[in-house]
Structure 1
C-alpha cells in the first residue's frame, strides 16, 4: 500500500510518503507554526469579514455605534467586548472601551491563537506516527523558506539518508526577525555542498519506475517530470525559484499521484508541450498551495485528477479552489479547513482519503 500524508502546515508545504517498500520520503517542510505576513493578513481580513457577517446576522450592522467589528474568536478569548441585550431591530452593543489599535490587536491575537492551535509540526508528526524511524529521502522541491523551515531540526532529530535538490542559483533571501530562517537557510546550503545532495532533472531514470538509487529494481516508482536543465537556466537568469520546483509523480499499481511543488506557468507550459496527454494522473496536489499563480487550465485538463488537494482554500483574492472544482467536477479538500489529509492506495488500485483535524 502507498500512503501519502498532506500535512496542515499553513502557508508552506510538507508531504510525507510511506512507500510500499517501507521507505519514507518527505517533500518539503514548514514547522514554523506561524503564517507568513501575506497569509496572516489574509486570515486577518477573513476574521474581519466574519465579524461583519456576525454583526449583520445579529441585527447590529449600520448602528453607527460599533467602531471596529469584533470576531467571535476574539470575544471567546476575552480579547474584545461581547454584545449585550437587544432593543428594537438593531439591539444594543456594549460601547467599546478599547482603541482602534487594541481592536486590531484583539483580532490579530485571535488569528494567531487559532493558527498555532491548528497547525501541524512535521517533526512531532513523524515522532508520533513513525516513531524511531528515519526518512529514506528528503526532497527540497525548490528553495523557498516556506518549504524548508525546520530543515535543520528535521535532519538532527529525525534524519534522512538521501537529499534531493535542484541546481538553482537563488540568492540569499531576506530573513524574518528571528534567526531560525537564517539557520535553516545556512543548513540547507551546507547540505547542498555535502556528498548527500543529488540534483535531478526530467529524464533522470535512477528513481523512476521501480529502480533504486543504484539503478537496480526495487525503487519507489518516483518519476521526475520537471525541471529540465534548460528551464533551470532560464529560471536562474530570471531569479524565478517557483518554476525550478521538482515536479514528481509517484506510481503505485495502476494509480499515480502528481506533486508539483510551486510550479507556475513557465514550468507547466514546458510539461504540457512535452508530455501532452501523458500528464494524466489520478491524484493531484495543487501547485503553489492551490493559489491562482499555480493554476494552469490546459495542464489541469490533461491531468484530469480524481482528487485535488490544496493547502489554502476559499481565499477570494488568491485561491483557485473553485477553478479546480469547476474544471474537474471533483472534490477539492483543503488542509487549511480539513486539517491533515491522508491518501491510501492499495495494491489493487482501490483508494480512499481521510481527514485528521488537530485538537482544537
Structure 2
C-alpha cells in the first residue's frame, strides 16, 4: 500500500508519496502562511518513518518552491531531484536562492529520461525502490534545449519541467508533468513514449495553458485526472474525462492498494459520481469519496 496526497496550497503545487517501501517523496512546495506550520509538521512526521526522503522539484517558479527554505530548515532536504538548469527567474527571492543552493550542491540528483538510481527505481536487499521513473526531458532533444536556453536567460521555466511516473506493483500508476505548456507538449509528442497511466496530474495546475492534447491523452488513457487550483476562468475541465477538482475537493488523498485506489477529500461535501462506493467511514485520510477499481 502507498498513500499519495495532493495538498491544497492555493495557486501552486505540492504533493507527497508515502511509499509502501522505505521511501518518502515530496513533490514541489507552495507553503503559504495560513497553514505552513501544519503542513510542515505533517511532512516531518511522515518523513521520520522512512529511511529515504527525496524532494522532486518540477519548476523553479515560486508557486512550486515557496517555503522550500523553511522546509529545508525543518526536515533537511538530503536528496534534491531536479532538471539541471541555470534558470534566473525569481533570483532575489530567498526560496529561489535556496533552490539554486540545493541545485548546485552535492544533494542534487539531475533527472532526465531513463535515469536510474538506487531506491528511486532500483531496489536491493536493504530496501525496495520507490517506483518512480523519469520519462522526460531527453537531455539532447532540440526542443528541450531551446526551452532550457530561454529559462537560463530569465524567461519562463515552465517547459523545463520533467515528466515522471510513479507505479505501484499490481496497483495504481500516476503521472506528473509539472508546468508544461500545451504548445510545448504538442511539439514533443513524437519524441516521447508514455505508457497508459491510471491517474494524470493535470499540468500547470489544470490551466488551459497546460491542457494535455487529445493525442497525448489517447496515449495516457487516464481513468482519473486531478485538476489543481487556479482561477475557474483559467481551468480546462477536461470534458469527457473523470476529474477531481482541487478547488472544490481541497486536499485529495489517494490510498493505493493492489487493484484499487480509495479517494478521500478534506472537504466534507465534495462528491463525484464515477467512483464505486465501498462505504468506508471514519477514515483518518479524510472524507471518503469513492474507489477506483483498476
Range of TM-score over shorter length: 0.7 to 0.9
Looking at structure 2, the residues matched to 17 and 156 of structure 1 have their Cα atoms a distance apart, in angstroms, of: 21
Contact 1:211–1:219, Cα closer than 8 Å, also in 2: yes
Partner of 1:40: none
Listed as ranges, the matches of 1:46-195 within 5 Å are: 116=34, 122-127=39-44, 130=46, 132-133=48-49, 136-173=53-90, 182-195=93-106
Partner of 1:228: 138
Structure 1's 151 and 133: CA in aligned 2 closer, same or farther, altered over 3 A?
Answer: farther
Partner of 2:26: 26
Q: Paired residues, what number? A: 259
Looking at structure 2, the residues matched to 207 and 282 of structure 1 have their Cα atoms a distance apart, in angstroms, of: 25
The normalised TM-score by structure 1 is 0.65
Partner of 1:336: 247
Looking at structure 1, the residues matched to 118 and 161 of structure 2 have their Cα atoms a distance apart, in angstroms, of: 17
1:222, distance to aligned residue in structure 2 (A): 0.6
Partner of 1:14: 14
Contact 1:168–1:241, Cα closer than 8 Å, also in 2: no
1:2, distance to aligned residue in structure 2 (A): 1.8
Structure 1's 120 and 265: CA in aligned 2 closer, same or farther, altered over 3 A?
Answer: farther
Contact 1:301–1:327, Cα closer than 8 Å, also in 2: no
1:339, distance to aligned residue in structure 2 (A): 1.3
Contact 1:210–1:217, Cα closer than 8 Å, also in 2: no
Partner of 2:208: 292
Partner of 2:264: 354
Looking at structure 2, the residues matched to 209 and 124 of structure 1 have their Cα atoms a distance apart, in angstroms, of: 24
Contact 1:30–1:148, Cα closer than 8 Å, also in 2: yes
1:145-182 Cα offsets, whole Å, 9 max, x none, are: 1100111111111223311111222114276xxxxxx2
1:272, distance to aligned residue in structure 2 (A): 2.6
Looking at structure 2, the residues matched to 210 and 344 of structure 1 have their Cα atoms a distance apart, in angstroms, of: 21
Partner of 1:327: 240
Partner of 2:290: none
Listed as ranges, the matches of 1:298-309 within 5 Å are: 298-309=215-226
Looking at structure 1, the residues matched to 166 and 189 of structure 2 have their Cα atoms a distance apart, in angstroms, of: 18
Partner of 2:282: none
Looking at structure 2, the residues matched to 273 and 120 of structure 1 have their Cα atoms a distance apart, in angstroms, of: 43
Looking at structure 2, the residues matched to 122 and 228 of structure 1 have their Cα atoms a distance apart, in angstroms, of: 33
1:7, distance to aligned residue in structure 2 (A): 0.1
1:195-243 Cα offsets, whole Å, 9 max, x none, are: 111111112133698415x9x9831111111112134421122334111
Partner of 2:228: 311
1:312, distance to aligned residue in structure 2 (A): 2.2
Cα RMSD for the two superposed structures: 2.8
Q: Give the gaps of 5 or more residues in structure 2.
A: 269-285, 287-294
Looking at structure 2, the residues matched to 22 and 152 of structure 1 have their Cα atoms a distance apart, in angstroms, of: 25
More displaced 10-residue stretch of structure 1: 228-237 or 18-27: 228-237
